[in-house]
A and B are shown apart, each in its own frame.
Chain A
Amino acid sequence: MVGVNKLREMYEQMVTAREYEQRLQEAYLEGKEPAFDISAGPIPGELHLAAGHEASAAGVCAHLRVEDTVTAPHRPHHIAIAKGVDLDRMTAEIFGRETGLCKGKGGHMHLFDPDVNFACSGIIAQGCPPAVGAAMAADKRNEDAVAVAFLGEGAVDQGAFLESLNLAAVQNLPVVFVVEDNDWAISMPQPRITDVKTTAQRADGFDMPGIRVDHDDAIAVYEAAGDAIGRARDGNGPTLLDVQVHRRMGHFMGDPQTYRPEDDQERAKRHDSIERLAEDLREHGVDDDELAEIRDRAEQHVADAIEWAREQPEPDPEAAHEDVFVDEPTAASGGDD
């Protein structure tokens, strides 16, 4: 049974993540309105926001330790926040600044923070094999660390995902696959791309537990994830966790969403896991003042990170030539100059 302090932590992470996406959305649109020009404004590139996905990340990562590895897909901010990635340096990275997590070379789809064992891949499902590898490393070293690969439901027809399930199962590795099902693979609804009713069913094909959490509910995720991560940590192998979430925004910023029925976005917004968790907290005796205090703290945390990021310098263009290798070839080793 989850304690009230854990619920408070999860609530703070979730409101931080929601606030973060809203503030990033505003910053991203600077210079991009009225005509949307992807090259304008302070945030370069694409931006995939995760408003409505917060419960899965918070409920899963609540069980993780620093030494546990998480891989996230192209929509990673809420997961990074839940894993404890440094918000200032993450934001500076998203703004393309020199002091960002990756010196401005990765951007929002390629966030790496080895201090908390967090990594991303912008290619859907391709974060699964490296998560299996992190689990393999823990297994070989006889450590009880686990790995978690997050992906969207649109990625579950990728070979990378299915191959990873099989490899993790046959080697009994401590890894949990968390599929965030927001009903939409950009513009394609699940029934158009697969006959499988829930992703959790796919686990049967690999003789692995598959758990569906069909309410966008942080406590339900927390409980299911606790079983899955506990199983992994105890040496009992992988689990597939299929979590219903809600997409409150477009696939990426600038997505016109003309493919989406008018009431679908409203439906997604009615299922607000943050409101639901606030209700749970009230039932645990946390009053509205305290909830407001948590929200204020989250807002300040986000505002400070964005303010700090905006002040950071852009990288020296010459730095584009660095970091291809860590063992840079030298003239002495015969490397090309």
Chain B
Amino acid sequence: MAKTESDPGTAGADRELTMSRAMVDAIASEMHADEEVFYMGEDVQDYGGIFDSTQGLLEEFDRDRVMDVPISETAYVGAAVGAAQAGMRPIAEIMFTDFVGVCLDQVYNQMAKNTYMSGSAVNVPMVLTTAVGGTYNDAAQHSQTLYGLFAHLPGMKVVVPSTAYDAKGLMHAAVRDDDPVVYMFHKRLMGIGWMPAPEGPKTPVPEDDYTIPIGEADVKREGSDVTVVTLGLHVHRALEAADELSGDVDVEVVDLQSLVPMDTQTVVESVEKTGRLVVVDEDYQSYGVTGEVTARVAERTPDALEAVERVAVPDVPIPYSRPLENEVNPQVGDVVEAVESVT
């Protein structure tokens, strides 16, 4: 196994990867290093994952390590729980995060709780990968992110990469973690041929293994006037908004990367510098990430917080038609507007 380095940065990397390639790179490396790591999901063998999450793995590993399973999320996510409790390190994929409804018991009552309910007599070292997000008009049952749902229920760590570099480091960290980690990858960022990614997620990625510690946010752009806290696809929309505003407003963009645990400190330090907070989220607004980030800042540093604005899906299911989806999924213009409203 290549020497592990924690978060070395992209400086020395002489190759650029899409986010999906970087994710697969880490999975393959972990599978080579440890026989106990295996991947299971629907259409992950010959297809390579509907969103390229296992593209190429079958060329390196046999079908016992990269497993197609029946369309029975309860059975195979639960099987991952059982295999993890037996000491293996399974990665199980829920094709669309929206499908968690059919297997939520295994996710929140078994995977997430068995460590606690057993007083740590057992632990569940598995990764649950799942594709999230809209922007391609797949409507209400195939476009959600559900970040808040997973982050709300105790017992699972939750990570959301926004670039190829982050995707690799977070996947290494997730597989090596002794707790269940939900790894939520945004479809629009993966670099899939039929769903072009925006500028940004394709980055230099070092060949060697490295981890991005779970629970660390990343300041993607430094600025002094307004803090924009976001994650996933909207990191890129926030960066675009910051570029548009540059000259007028100096925007700092904080990429949460981990929802559980959340790096409150980095967010608080940024707000203490800027005094103004905008939280941008592709999940529903109420009872979600935007409220949680705002509450933590208000609790920790109430005096620093001069103004706050939330930009999220306005508590409606994701609609189908293009103008309708664009109305509810926060656009670059919405972020610009929110930043302007707090300055």
Contacts and interface: CB of A to CB of B under 8 A. Distances in A.
A105 interface: yes
Contact of A137 (B88, B122, B265): B88
Interface in B13-70: 38, 64, 69-70
A319 B216 CA distance: 26
B26 to A, nearest CB: 18
B217 A334 contact: yes
B177 to A, nearest CB: 6
A170 interface: yes
Given A129-B106, A147-B82, A160-B75, A335 B263 contact: yes
Interface in B82-113: 82-88, 90, 102, 105-106, 109-110
B42 to A, nearest CB: 12
Nearest to A134: B82
A90 to B, nearest CB: 12
B119 A326 contact: no
Contact of A126 (B38, B64, B86, B105): B105
A336 interface: yes
Contact of A327 (B72, B76, B179): B179
A159 B74 contact: yes
A133 B123 contact: no
A140 interface: yes
B266 interface: yes
Contact of A336 (B70, B79, B122, B263): B263
A167 B75 CA distance: 7
A196 interface: no
Contacts of A302: none
B78 A132 contact: yes
A112 B121 contact: yes
A146 interface: no
Interface stretch (A1-9, A96-104, A265-273, A304-312): A96-104
Given A129-B75, A167-B79, A106 B117 contact: yes
B160 to A, nearest CB: 15
A137 B264 CA distance: 38
Given A112-B117, A132-B78, A326 B83 contact: no
B240 interface: no
Interface of A: 69, 71, 100-106, 110, 112-114, 117, 119, 121, 123, 126, 128-138, 140, 147, 159-160, 163-164, 166-167, 170, 322-327, 329, 331, 333-337
23 contacts: A69-B82, A101-B121, A112-B114, A114-B85, A114-B121, A126-B106, A128-B75, A129-B79, A129-B106, A130-B82, A130-B110, A131-B82, A132-B79, A133-B79, A133-B83, A133-B84, A160-B105, A166-B70, A167-B72, A326-B123, A326-B179, A333-B216, A334-B261
Interface of B: 38, 64, 69-70, 72, 74-88, 90, 102, 105-106, 109-110, 114-123, 154-155, 157, 177-179, 213-217, 258, 261-266, 296
